Amino acid sequence: MRRERRTGKPKERDVAKVDERSLDAFLGRAIHELRRHDHLTIAEVAQQAGISRGMLSKIENGQVSCSLDTLNKIAGALGVSLSHLFRYYNVPAGNAQLVRSGTGMEVVRRGTKRGHTYHLLAYDQGPQKLFEPFLVTMDDASEVYPAFEHPGTEFIYVLKGKIQYRHGSELYLLNPGDSLSFRGEIPHGPEKLIKTPIMLLSIIVYGEQPA
């Protein structure tokens, strides 16, 4: 953003054409969204900031470049810091993968034959798997489950039910809200399903294990 040379009262520079990627356009949208979020009118914010309604309207539409002093007054009128207006400027585009509730890909794993239902919550991660998050459901209290072994580190978090879980020679009683993390190459798995249905989040992180 170009700062004007101050001679008395700061003057705002009119901009004929607005580049949607410009700082002026970005700040205008940020101010507009903050004002609308707080259900404030242009008149209310302009009065609090000590500028005209017309000027604030031009700022919101990216039609003027204003001084840092004016931006600071507007930020104060909106109840935020000056840095808050710039916080999302020139940041990389997001590339998150969204999986809606109930839409995780159901997959077959070793435990499927034993009554486990696996929903994969993230996939298509490229040629090398870095991690696998599963939503695992178990609803047959009479079934006997084999031990599992796999590379990487596993983290489980119990969402529903009550389960006795084995890792190596140790047994752990897990209730909703309990979590357990362990090395995957050591035999592990459900020892006893105490209260079904059981639902847990299982995240396997692949990579070399520490020596």
Q: What is the pLDDT of residues 37-75, one digit of tens each?
A: 999 999 999 999 999 999 999 999 999 988 999 999 999
pLDDT value for 125:
60
pLDDT value for 143:
66
Please report, as a single letter, which amino acid is at residue 121: L
Domains by residue range for the chain, with CATH: 13-86 (1.10.260.40), 105-205 (2.60.120.10)
For 1-13, the pLDDT digits (tens) are 333 333 333 333 3
- Cα–Cα nearest to 26, from 78, 68, 89: 89
pTM: 0.58
pLDDT value for 104:
66
CA dist 101 and 85 (Å) reads: 33
pLDDT value for 47:
96
> 199 has which bridge partners?
137, 160
pLDDT value for 21:
54
CA dist 178 and 67 (Å) reads: 53
DSSP string over 75-109: HHHHTS-HHHHHTTTTPPPP------TT-SEEE--
pLDDT value for 96:
75
What are the start-end ranges of the E strands in the chain? Answer: 13-14, 64-65, 105-107, 116-120, 131-138, 153-167, 170-174, 179-183, 188-205
Please report, as a single letter, which amino acid is at residue 153: T
Q: Confidence class of residue 20 from pLDDT cuts 50, 70 and 90?
A: very low
Instruction: Report whether pLDDT(168) > 60.
Output: yes
